[in-house]
Amino acid sequence: MINKRLLIKNLLAHNDECSFYDKKRQLNLHTKEGKAKFLKHICALSNSNPSNNSYIVVGVEDLDNEITGDDFFDDSRIQNLVNAYLENPPKIQYENVPFPNLPKDRVVGLVTIKPKHKTSFFKKNIHTIFAGSVFVRVGSNSVPTEDKISYSKQNIETVISIENSSRNSIAYTLDGVMNFMIERHGDMVSQYKVFKELFVICWAGNPKKIRDSTYLSRVDIELINEQVKLFYSALDVVSISYDEESFTIIEYVPLGLNDKTSYYPLEQQKISFFDNGYYKIENKMLFEPPAFNKKMLHHIYNSNVALITKLQRGIALSEREEKDLENLSSTLMICYLNGFEDAKQKLIDAKPLLKANKKAAVYMSFKEAMRVLRKMKYN
């Protein structure tokens, strides 16, 4: 079993970006350009490594390898994005890896691209990349090619060596459990559960009674053996259940036009463990968008557009408008889910303005809304 934190350290220590490894400060999958860049690197790394895993590390400075981290990214449907644009798409896995020096809400992303022997190429246009384009890695660059693809067999030995040097141990597991429960979450209710005498899951959160149900808020869940964060949210709430074979997380998203006290099931994530040392993660989308009165939504939509216009023009907001700004992202999302097609793009265009706001909750609400919309798109 590979300790993903150790794997990232070994990749960073190996050398600079190369034909089996790339690093990024962050991913931007909100725009066509950002998606195109990501898909280009996936295509190139896959074609250049048909017999070994290749990797992209997200949350690292390019010049000095400083680990700065990125937001927790829980889009299990990123594979669907790859499938939508690439012919012969590789299987990929995105994992969130916590590091001790990073805040709780920051992780390093690890994209693992599985080996396959058929050439990947774009089957439809995206941004400046045309259908039929083929990419390969030349050193640290992903470049287009029309030639027969060659690859270095040296990569196979090198990657296997790096992965073998990243194997987990009992010491890493015990240290991980103690770090999670005492150092990082000593102020919260935290628990652990061992599955199949091998896998250890730790979770922490604050119990929250909502009507007749008890949920956990500010939830952090990790698979300690691999140093992988399975779930993190500062806003949403979850319910947790488990037996001897599996661990199930159901995430709920708060939605409403005023106080947002209604909780809707968003997604179920089930981790099943097997006697042979393997595990499987299955995700099931549960979300059914709430329906609201269209006449009322027209008024709310226009008010939100007017609020964005004031931000663009630098006009000072009233106290009420400042409060409305905190709910702008979730209300525009509700508008979009109820047939206001322009609402999503209005929200995306407002990202720089919301990010620059002095209240952290304003931008956090934006990220949560985009996360829900992204999940629905690739469902």
Q: What is the pLDDT of residues 204-226, one digit of tens each?
A: 999 888 777 788 888 999 999 99
CA 264-78-92 angle, 5° bins: 135
What's residue 186's pLDDT?
86
**Crossing angle (nearest 10°) for helices 4-14 and 154-164:** 130
pLDDT at 119 over 70: yes
Q: What is the pLDDT of residues 58-89, one digit of tens each?
A: 999 988 889 999 988 876 678 989 999 999 99
Confidence of residue 105 (pLDDT cuts 50, 70, 90): confident
Query: Are the beta carbons of 135 and 54 closer than 8 angstroms?
Result: no
What's residue 197's pLDDT?
92
Alpha carbon distance 371, 266 (integer Å): 11
pTM score, whole prediction: 0.81
Alpha carbon distance 54, 93 (integer Å): 11
Phi, psi (rounded to 5 degrees) for 278: -110, 160
Percentage of the chain lying above the pLDDT 90 cut: 64
Q: What is the pLDDT of residues 318-366, one digit of tens each?
A: 988 998 898 899 899 999 999 999 999 999 999 999 999 989 889 988 9
Question: What average pLDDT does the structure give for the chain?
Answer: 90
Alpha carbon distance 156, 19 (integer Å): 11
Alpha carbon distance 265, 212 (integer Å): 15
Alpha helices in the chain (DSSP H): 4-14, 32-48, 78-85, 154-164, 170-178, 294-313, 319-337, 342-349, 351-355, 360-377
Contacts of 310 (CB under 8 A, 6+ apart): 317, 321
Q: Is the dihedral of CA 121, 125, 131, 133 positive or negative?
A: negative
Q: What is the mean pLDDT of residues 31-59?
A: 95
Q: What is the mean pLDDT of residues 239-262?
A: 84
Confidence of residue 260 (pLDDT cuts 50, 70, 90): low
Structure tokens at 347: 């929200």
The string of DSSP codes covering 76-126 is: TTHHHHHHHHEESPPPEEEEEE--TTS-TTEEEEEEEE---SSPPEESS-B
Structure tokens at 334: 């509700």
Alpha carbon distance 270, 239 (integer Å): 12
Q: Residues 114-118: contacts with CB within 8 Å, 24+ apart?
A: 114/53, 114/90, 115/49, 115/50, 115/51, 115/52, 115/53, 115/54, 115/90, 116/46, 116/50, 116/88, 116/90, 116/91, 117/50, 117/51, 118/88
Question: How far apart, in Å, are the Cα atoms of 362 and each of 105, 172, 272, 346, 371?
Answer: 16, 38, 36, 15, 15
Alpha carbon distance 134, 132 (integer Å): 6
Residue with more model confidence, 260 or 180 = 180
